[in-house]
């Protein structure tokens, strides 16, 4: 991005974009899926899937790794914690068992 930005004289904000268009602006979703996402899947030998599925994978992996649900909510831009838990709560049935186990160890000590 540093090289591309210097060639096109982009602003610092434009240089922060992950997938800018040729004008240094946010790429439109359809152009991204046609020009980047689908060719990437094909080259990797992966079945076609919607790009939006990466969002769900990210959230699922974070929660499976015991990330704080408030952090995941902020990362996804959900307006409320209820929204995040409503969508991904089924992935966290034992999310707090390690806290309970720690409390048990303290009480028994």
Give the 3-state secondary structure of residue 20: strand
Predicted confidence band at 101 (pLDDT cuts at 50, 70, 90)?
Answer: confident
The token duo for 33 is: 């899926």
The predicted structure's pLDDT at residue 93: 66
Show Cβ contacts of residue 41 under 8 Å, excluding neighbours closer than 6 positions: 47, 48, 49
User: Using CA of residue 32, residue 35, residue 40, residue 42, what is the dihedral sign?
Assistant: positive
pLDDT digits (tens, 9 = 90+) for 47-95: 999 999 999 999 999 988 889 899 999 999 999 999 998 998 887 766 6
The predicted structure's pLDDT at residue 57: 93
Q: What is the DSSP string of 28-83?
A: PHHHHIIIIIHHHHHHHTPPP--TTHHHHHHHHHHHHTT--HHHHHHHHT-S-HHH
State the chain's mean pLDDT as an integer. 87
State the residue for tokens 């974009």: 17
**pTM above threshold 0.75:** no
The predicted structure's pLDDT at residue 42: 96
Domain ranges of the chain: 1-47, 52-109
- For residues 24-51, average pLDDT: 92
- Residue 48 sits at the vertex; the CA angle it makes with 30 and 85, to the nearest 5 degrees, is 80
């Amino acid at each position: 991005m540093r090289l591309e930005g210097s060639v096109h004289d982009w602003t610092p904000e434009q240089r922060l974009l992950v997938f800018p268009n040729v004008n240094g602006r946010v790429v439109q979703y359809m152009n991204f899926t046609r020009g980047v996402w689908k060719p990437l899947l094909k080259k990797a030998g992966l079945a076609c899937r919607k790009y939006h599925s990466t969002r769900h994978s990210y959230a699922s992996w974070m929660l499976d790794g015991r990330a704080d649900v408030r952090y995941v909510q902020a990362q996804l831009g959900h307006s409320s914690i209820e929204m995040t838990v409503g969508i991904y709560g089924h992935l966290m049935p034992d999310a707090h068992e390690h806290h309970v186990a720690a409390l048990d160890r303290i009480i028994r000590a």
